[in-house]
Amino acid sequence: MGQSGAGKSTLLHLLGGLDRPTGGEVIFGNRDIVSLGEQELASFRNNEIGFVWQNPSLLAEFTALENVMMPLLIRGEDHHAAARIAGERLAEVGLAERASHRAGELSGGEQQRVGLARALVTSPHVLLADEPTGNLDFRTGEAIIGLLNDLHAAHGLTSVVVTHNVSFASRCDRVLELKKGGLYPVSKRELQEAGVVQDATRLDGGTYV
């Protein structure tokens, strides 16, 4: 968590090998991914990391199934095998019956679920999610949070999530605040106090924690 501009998205980009730091190391397992070449880094991302963005950025001309297949096809997976695995991931997020629909035919929540299926289709070890509920209404956001929690457990993931959603943060195993270039622990009590303040300022009421 952290204020806008604190560097939360930049931190995720560094962890996922999308950006390179101006100094230091990013250790994944026993490898410093900063030292990898561009092709090695692309392979690392494809094999080890699943990305979920605030805007899932689905390719409009492709179906939900084809969007989920894309990382496997980039890897060189056989088309039929890629379609089978993508279908399994779509079923896991509750969208088996929407597989043939294009992005424009899907609701915001459905598009985000396609994004989740795409992030998991390569069986990554780490899931990086940047404000995954930021563009969704409260009820849909809550459903996505529940689904993320379920997928995290089912796939044995290490998940790093950037969020302003206090309810989401309170369900995580560990919460850190990014401020002044450092990471600081946030207690459950601090989250509860923040939730009360946030709830009091919500125009439509509701409960965060």
Res 78 pLDDT > 80: yes
CA 140 vs CA 99, 132, 193: distances in Å: 20, 11, 24
Q: What is the mean pLDDT of residues 182-196?
A: 81
Q: Which residues contact 159 (CB under 8 A, 6 or more apart)?
A: 126, 127, 128, 129, 148, 152
Q: Which residues contact 97 (CB under 8 A, 6 or more apart)?
A: none
Q: What is the mean pLDDT of residues 144-169?
A: 92
Nearest to 144 by CA among 168, 122, 171: 168
pLDDT (0 to 100) of residue 9: 94
CATH number assigned to the domain covering 8-200: 3.40.50.300
pLDDT (0 to 100) of residue 195: 64
Q: What is the mean pLDDT of residues 28-53?
A: 95
Nearest to 162 by CA among 5, 17, 12, 6: 12
Q: What is the mean pLDDT of residues 146-164?
A: 93
Contact criterion met (CB below 8 Å) for 157 and 173 = no
Provide the pLDDT confidence category of residue 208 given band limits of 50, 70 and 90: very low
Res 200 pLDDT > 80: no
Per the DSSP assignment, residues forming a β-bridge with 87 are none
pLDDT (0 to 100) of residue 203: 45
Ordered by start, the domain boundaries in the chain are 8-200
List of E strands, 42-151: 49-52, 126-130
Q: Does the predicted TM-score (pTM) go above 0.95?
A: no
